[in-house]
């Protein structure tokens, strides 16, 4: 048996891809994915007993309450999962590498192309919980925080990625409103998984940004996806963030990833570039081939 890595949130989008791609990009590790059914983050004593029994050499923490509206509606639960459980896990991993997946939502989105050293100023409760957890995690020099933004891919239940959300709405016969003035730098989950595995092997803890090399509006993303998802045809509707209702959303969460890019063996692609390559190669859109 080799060193053991634990991935929390294994039923989620990124956690699932981390577990699936481990044989390729972390072949020397025994990787165990823990979903909510196997690790309830709010049950502290059970969580502690499970982690101590598994004795990991690395823990990648993907589990979170990540729906922005859900965090606004139940801030106590959001804080228990996103902050308190994260801090407790980090404490349990005090002597080993711990990788925490955070979010670009720690920024207010006023200007975009954020670097790791830029001032964080979250505008919603989800971002606030992620920022607080980051600060606690990074108190340990062995530990790492990776900020991501918007993820594409295929989840077990078809309800985790922004692409799945769009398609589910369209299939229900509803229009999908996409803002022309809200910008992100999306990436497929498989690229994120590969980057995290490589980062973990580098043994270079700290704070990193991980996003696509292209800054796209929500509307541009939808247009790029049309050739792949015919159910979206006629259902995409241009909108403006100025008319947004619900939890506050930052306007521009594009991230600069130079720091992480310097440690990786591959170039982080842009979203449209990824789609073009899949088309040329005739492979499944979100498969786990190399970028």
DSSP character at residue 33: E
Q: Are 48 and 220 in contact (CB under 8 A)?
A: no
Distances (CA, A) of 157 to 37, 183, 188, 283: 15, 27, 17, 22
Domain boundaries of the chain, sorted by first residue: 4-281
The answer to whether 255 and 210 have CB atoms below 8 angstroms apart is: yes
> pTM (2 decimals)?
0.95
pLDDT 10s per residue in the chain (291 long)?
A: 689 999 999 999 999 999 999 999 999 999 999 998 888 888 999 999 999 999 999 999 999 999 999 999 999 999 999 999 999 999 999 999 999 999 999 999 999 999 999 999 999 999 999 999 999 999 999 999 999 999 998 887 777 799 999 999 999 999 999 999 999 999 999 999 999 999 999 999 999 999 999 999 999 999 999 999 999 999 999 999 999 999 999 999 999 999 999 999 999 999 999 998 876 554 467 775 454
What fold is seen in the domain 4-281?
Rossmann fold (3.40.50)
């Amino acid at each position: 048996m080799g060193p053991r890595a634990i991935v929390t949130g294994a039923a989620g989008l990124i956690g699932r891809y981390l577990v699936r791609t481990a044989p390729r990009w972390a072949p020397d590790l025994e990787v165990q994915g823990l979903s909510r059914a196997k690790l309830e983050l709010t049950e502290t004593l059970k969580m502690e007993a499970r982690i101590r029994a598994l004795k990991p050499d690395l823990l990648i923490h993907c589990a979170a309450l990540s729906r922005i509206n859900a965090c606004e509606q139940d801030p106590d639960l959001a804080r228990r999962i996103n902050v308190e459980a994260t801090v407790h896990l980090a404490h349990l991993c005090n002597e080993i590498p711990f990788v925490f997946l955070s979010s670009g939502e720690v920024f207010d989105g006023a200007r975009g192309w954020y670097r790791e050293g830029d001032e964080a100023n979250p505008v919603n409760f989800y971002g606030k919980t992620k920022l607080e957890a980051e600060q606690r995690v990074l108190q340990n020099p062995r530990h790492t925080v990776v900020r991501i933004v918007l993820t594409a891919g295929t989840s077990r239940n078809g309800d985790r990625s922004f692409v799945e959300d769009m398609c589910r709405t369209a299939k229900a016969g509803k229009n999908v409103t996409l803002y022309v003035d809200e910008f992100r730098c999306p990436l497929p989950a498989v690229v994120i998984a590969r980057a995290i595995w490589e980062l973990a092997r580098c043994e270079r803890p700290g704070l990193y940004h991980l996003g696509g090399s292209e800054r796209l509006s929500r509307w541009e993303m939808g247009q790029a996806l049309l050739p792949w998802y015919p159910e979206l045809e006629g259902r995409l509707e241009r909108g403006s963030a100025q008319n947004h209702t619900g939890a506050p959303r930052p306007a521009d969460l594009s991230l600069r990833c130079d720091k992480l890019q310097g440690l990786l063996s591959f170039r982080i692609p842009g979203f449209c570039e990824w789609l073009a390559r899949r088309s040329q190669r005739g492979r499944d859109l979100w498969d786990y081939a190399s970028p």
